[in-house]
Amino acid sequence: MYQALYRKWRPRSFDDVISQPHITTALRNQIREGRTAHAYLFTGSRGTGKTTCARILAKAVNCEHRTPEGNPCLSCDICRDAERGALSDIIEIDAASNNSVEDIRDLREGTVYLPERCRFKVYIIDEVHMLSPSAWGALLKVMEEPPEYVKFILATTEIHKVPATIISRCQRYDFHRIRSNDIAARLEYIAGQEQLSLEPEAAQLIAHLADGGMRDALSLLDQCASGGEAITPQLVTQAAGAAGRDSVFAILKAIQDQDAPKALEVTGALYDQSKDMMRLCDELLEQLRNMMLLKAGAGEPELLTCLPDELESLQQLAQAASLDSILSRITRLQDSRERMQRSPGKRVELEMALLQLASPMPAAVPVPVSAPQVQTQPAAPVAAAPKSEAAVAPAELAETPAREQPLRASDFQPVSNWADILAAYQAVNPAVSGSLAESSAFVAGNTMLIVAKNRFFLTLLKNKENAVSLREIVRQFLGVEYNIRAKCSEPEQKASKAQTLIQKAIDSKLDTAVET
């Protein structure tokens, strides 16, 4: 009967575990010295060896002839039965499906009985973060004072969901993501043993797509091998449902060239090939991260998540872009990625983001004469500023003349952390921040242009205190006191009834305004 590669090549001893020397060394030393703990907590991302190490540890503490290095011998009856899952003293529990308090009570009742064949009765609880609140209480009770012949090994991918009372009673070991080079080397070794034709570039690509998980890498290798052909990078890309490096770089190049039709054309072709749009967004974000690191001068090989032959293309893209533009693209795609998780129209969401990123800005940004502006002289915080020290009167805000020459689009750069600025401003002035929903901001020199969807924002900004408080929040985040200009992205229209009532309340200085 065929056995999947990830099961067939699961490590049997600590020597077979890769990229976790800080854990395997510590466990071997404890076993060799006879100082194993009564409870362990293994945490880390999927496919990094948590359950595998738990099984090896359970075998090693019960092995009849373990090696001097602390490994199980793999030849005694205990080791053989443990590997076949036929040893009643090593109990594995999947907390994802056995997470009730009754399940843990059954476990606790089982700890009363002595081991049948082994020195220790070992409970391995996988995905332990899935336990119910009442189950945690039952588990804590038995972990506080367990019998001397009982050991617990808990494994989880979400350590933040494990109660502190449980963590404090365990020896905790954090499993690292497996390095891509280690995964690729292991894949090539296994391919040689299985007589598979695996190209080195394909092994690197599988390791890259596995994102630090050995199990995912072996599963993808197994899938590629089922075709009976030589495993090439093209075959790996097709099997993984990835967009392919050429397509990803074509989209990034189209964004760089402000060629929206080209970006949409490549995306449409990938969609027709049944490529996953969320995965495409992830691949674009991954390469933009590489560009960000290269632009920031932190492009060390161990930090970049790209193949060696991709580096030249990434460097060319990074050199032709500013760091601010790269950060802005990352922010826009991250926002799109978040919306894609909640939207059935994932293709539309991604195309909207690409259209915004790849469409050239207008040749000039018109600034109306009536646009509010904040002067550049320093101002104290609103709460502490006496009325006599107001830097700008409301009338001055509205009547500040525009620049004689229109501002060019090439002068402006988007404010990448505008959402963070608005979040901070909401605590200071929630009324004005509410009118800035779906707004964006751009800076050029000492000028900030706010493009708001809600026209009522222009009215609110004419108020001196609103303008000064907004400038102060911007200064705290960006370190510059900008001249603030504003325009509305919507066509001219009458204010809504609600906005009219609000304005009446402001003008009358009453708590409410009732229209009869």
pLDDT digits (tens, 9 = 90+) for 191-227: 999 888 898 888 988 988 888 889 989 999 988 888 7
Q: How confident is the model over 263-280, as pLDDT tens digits?
A: 999 999 988 888 889 889
Classify domain 5-174 at the CATH superfamily level: P-loop containing nucleotide triphosphate hydrolases (3.40.50.300)
Residue 43 has pLDDT above 60, yes or no: yes
Residue 17 half-sphere exposure toward CB, CA atoms < 13 A: 26
Confidence of residue 301 (pLDDT cuts 50, 70, 90): low
Task: Tell me the C-alpha distance between 422 and 430, whole Å.
Answer: 9
Nearest to 43 by CA among 66, 65, 61, 20: 20
Q: Which helix (H) or strand (E) holds 152?
A: strand 150-156
Domain boundaries, the chain: 5-174, 180-240, 245-358, 364-508
Nearest to 348 by CA among 357, 336, 358: 336
Helices 214-225 and 200-210, axial angle in degrees (round to 10) = 130
Q: Give the number of residues written for the chain.
A: 516
Check whether domain 364-508 has CATH 1.10.357.10, yes or no = no
- Section 438-459 average pLDDT: 84
Query: Which of helix, strand or coil describes residue 285?
Result: helix
At 24 the pLDDT is 94
Across 91-95, 173-177, 219-223, 239-243, least confident range: 239-243
Confidence of residue 364 (pLDDT cuts 50, 70, 90): very low
Task: Tell me the C-alpha distance between 282 and 72, whole Å.
Answer: 41
Q: Mean pLDDT highest for which of 229-233, 250-254, 360-364?
A: 250-254
Residue 252 has pLDDT above 90, yes or no: yes
- State which fold the 180-240 domain adopts: Helicase, Ruva Protein; domain 3 (1.10.8)
Q: How confident is the model over 405-415, as pLDDT tens digits?
A: 555 666 778 88
Residue 51 has pLDDT above 90, yes or no: yes
Residue 122 has pLDDT above 60, yes or no: yes
At 480 the pLDDT is 83
Residue 419 has pLDDT above 50, yes or no: yes
Residues ≥6 apart with Cβ < 8 Å to 496: 456
Cβ 212 vs Cβ 181: under 8 Å: no
Residue 344 has pLDDT above 90, yes or no: no
Residue 368 has pLDDT above 80, yes or no: no
Across 225-229, 231-235, 451-455, least confident range: 225-229
Residue 375 has pLDDT above 50, yes or no: no
pTM beyond 0.75: the answer is no
Confidence of residue 507 (pLDDT cuts 50, 70, 90): low
Look at domain 245-358 and name its CATH class.
mainly alpha
Across 172-176, 386-390, 427-431, 469-473, least confident range: 386-390
At 452 the pLDDT is 86
Burial grade of 63 (CB within 10 A; 0-12, 13-18, 19 or more): buried
In the block, residue with structure tokens 């929630």: 430
* Residues forming a β-bridge with 126: 94
- Section 60-86 average pLDDT: 91
At 167 the pLDDT is 94
At 390 the pLDDT is 34
How far is residue 71 from each of residues 11, 13, 55, 65, 475, measured CA to CA in Å? 12, 6, 12, 9, 60
Q: How confident is the model over 19-30, as pLDDT tens digits?
A: 899 999 999 999
At 381 the pLDDT is 42
Residue 401 has pLDDT above 80, yes or no: no
At 493 the pLDDT is 46
At 440 the pLDDT is 87
Beta-sheet strands, E only, within 350-456: 364-365, 407-408, 413-414, 440-444, 447-452
Residue-averaged pLDDT of the chain? 81
At 243 the pLDDT is 66
Confidence of residue 383 (pLDDT cuts 50, 70, 90): very low
Burial grade of 194 (CB within 10 A; 0-12, 13-18, 19 or more): middle
479 CA to centre of own chain = 28
At 339 the pLDDT is 87
- Token readout for 95 is 């907390």
Residue 63 has pLDDT above 80, yes or no: yes
At 463 the pLDDT is 82
Cβ 152 vs Cβ 169: under 8 Å: no
Residue 362 has pLDDT above 90, yes or no: no
At 500 the pLDDT is 55
- Section 432-458 average pLDDT: 84
